[in-house]
Amino acid sequence: MLKPVRKLPGEKRIALVAHDNKKNEMIEWAIYNKTALAQHRLFGTGTTGTLVEEALGQTVTKFLSGPLGGDQQIGASIAEGKIDVLIFFWDPMEAQPHDPDIKALLRLAVAWNIPFACDRATADFLLTSPLMFSDYEIMTPDYSVYNKRLQNPSDTTTL
């Protein structure tokens, strides 16, 4: 069976997230990559999105602050196919009160097979890839068996 394919457009929808100790690094990275980022639509958690918008002079669609649900909003947008790329500078040296949300966000990026970076070097490699500026088809997992796992064999409705 062929796997479902989702087409990522040349103009990617990029979500930007950074923990407090990584916000300055995110801003420096965004300024360094201002020209490349200007070719895409940017999204971000509340504080990070505001800081990036101010630094770049480019509109950033903002979700709530990460600990207040922004990470979950971005995760939901990934699952809905509304975010194409995730750049998440997380702090591996400090515990976060919303660690379960962070883990869920990263799990969804993997589950829906979107490109994502968790550090500056990987973000640089990702953003400088020629694939970031052209249409690209990603193979999305077929979760139909999972979705039907509790369905009664005589029930023809879809969960």
Q: How far apart are CA 135 and CA 11, in angstroms?
A: 8
Catalytic, 71? Answer: yes
**pLDDT band at residue 63 under the 50/70/90 scheme:** very high
What average pLDDT does range 11-32 have in this prediction? 96
- Tokens read off for 113: 């097979």
Strands (E), 1-159: 5-8, 13-18, 41-44, 60-62, 85-89, 116-117, 136-139
Residue holding tokens 């591996």? 92
* pTM (predicted TM-score): 0.88
The pLDDT value given to residue 28? 98
Neighbour-count burial of 25, counting CB atoms closer than 10 A to its CB (0-12 exposed, 13-18 middle, 19+ buried): middle
DSSP code at position 134: S
**pLDDT band at residue 153 under the 50/70/90 scheme:** low
Q: How far apart are CA 123 and CA 119, in angstroms?
A: 6
Catalytic residue among 20, 71, 84, 101: 71
Q: How far apart are CA 114 and CA 61, in angstroms?
A: 19
